[in-house]
């Protein structure tokens, strides 16, 4: 969801209207971008939305691990393996 100008809130205004902003982000999927000296410094989002973002991140990590495991199995089937000695030589351990 793109951020609209009305969703960009200076820190001084966010301090003064914090409760109101919290109510707004908890009622709708809107996000508020907090700025300090004209630069982005934080975001205010609903707790449900944050949990959703965390779930997406966990799913992305799991997909990445599955891709790496699949790639490893493909390397194993193709004979692309190294001995312990070759690993130690390559990585100096």
Residue-wise pLDDT tens digits, 26-57: 998 899 999 999 999 999 999 999 999 999 99
The helix-helix angle for 18-27 and 47-77 (nearest 10°) equals 60
- The model scores a pTM over 0.75: no
CATH T-level topology, domain 5-45: YefM-like fold (3.40.1620)
41 contacts 34 by C-beta, under 8 angstroms: yes
What does pLDDT average to over the chain?
94
């Amino acid at each position: 969801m793109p951020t609209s100008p009305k969703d960009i809130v200076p820190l001084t205004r966010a301090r003064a209207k914090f409760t109101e902003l919290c109510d707004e982000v908890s009622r709708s999927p809107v996000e508020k971008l907090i700025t300090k000296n004209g630069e982005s410094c934080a975001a205010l989002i609903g707790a449900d939305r944050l949990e959703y973002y965390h779930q997406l991140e966990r799913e992305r990590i799991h997909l990445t691990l599955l891709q790496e495991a699949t790639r490893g199995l493909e390397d194993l089937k193709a004979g692309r393996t190294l001995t312990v000695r070759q690993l130690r030589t390559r990585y100096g351990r």
